[in-house]
Amino acid sequence: MTTANQTAIAKYKNSFLKEVEANVEEGHWVRMCMQCGVCAGSCPLGNAWAHPPQEIFMMIRAGKREEVLGSDAMWMCTSCYNCIVRCPRKLPITHIMHGLANYAHRLGLAPKGQPTQATATLFWNNLIKKGRVNELTFSLALYFKDGFVQGIKNALNMQAVGLGLMKAKRLNPMEILGGHGVKDQSGLQAMIAKAREIEDRKKGFAK
């Protein structure tokens, strides 16, 4: 268990709702949910998750901390924003789901090996390295995230697609040498580090 997790449990022991309101992006909206379920019916991946948004919100209010933060529900969000535009109470549901996913991940409570969580981490690390996404190294990192043998299998599986994209000049093998990036990489990285430092201090992640 991470230190941040222990600190959060001690601080908010009687109210997971207060914890979510304080630490989760847009979490202060959770209490506004009226349990109508339009979000659940609007989600393209609605049948793929154990708990639709309105259930997650009620579980937060019922103090089901471990069940919520350990759920794979919010990792099914495709960022389609159907739930946001249809919510009769105008809750920014997509952002709350994103916020919960990030919070669970930062506390070390996201389901182990959750594929979207792993993909998101690879994506973020790729983009902050040079300030712009390198699609080639990102794809390769994705293929090889479950080890070398699986990586070769994945790469072979997608070989035709990869070659097709290269032929269409939409995937450049030379990107492996570094590829596109911003000029002020040190400034960008200092900015991200500062933002992370402020957020960590605010949300209890600071070591």
CB of 126 closer than 8 Å to CB of 120 = no
Q: Which is nearer to other proteins, 34 or 198 (CB)?
A: 198
Residues 18-37 that bind other proteins (CB under 8 A): 25
**Which of 21, 67, 135, 146 forms a contact with other proteins (CB under 8 A)?**
135
Q: Is 195 in the site for other proteins (CB under 8 A)?
A: yes
What is the spatial distance between Cα 127 and Cα 133, in angstroms, rounded to a whole number?
4
Query: Per-residue x/- marks for other proteins, 35-54, CB under 8 A?
Result: ---------xx--x------
Residues 1-20 that bind other proteins (CB under 8 A): none
Structure tokens at 74: 């919010």
Outline where DSSP puts E strands in the chain.
none
Applying CB under 8 A, which part among 14-22, 30-38, 54-62, 176-184 lies near other proteins? 176-184
Q: Which is nearer to other proteins, 36 or 182 (CB)?
A: 182
Q: Which is nearer to other proteins, 63 or 116 (CB)?
A: 116
What is the nearest approach in angstroms of other proteins to the Cβ of residue 118?
Answer: 7
Question: Contacts with other proteins: how many residues (CB under 8 A)?
Answer: 66
Cβ atoms < 10 Å from Cβ of 30? 23
What is the nearest approach in angstroms of other proteins to the Cβ of residue 9?
Answer: 20
Applying CB under 8 A, which part among 14-22, 28-36, 50-58, 86-94 lies near other proteins? 86-94
Burial of residue 190 (CB within 10 Å: 0-12, 13-18, 19+) is exposed
What is the spatial distance between Cα 61 and Cα 72, in angstroms, rounded to a whole number?
18
CB of 69 closer than 8 Å to CB of 9 = no
Farthest-apart Cα atoms in the chain, separation: 59
What is the spatial distance between Cα 5 and Cα 13, in angstroms, rounded to a whole number?
11
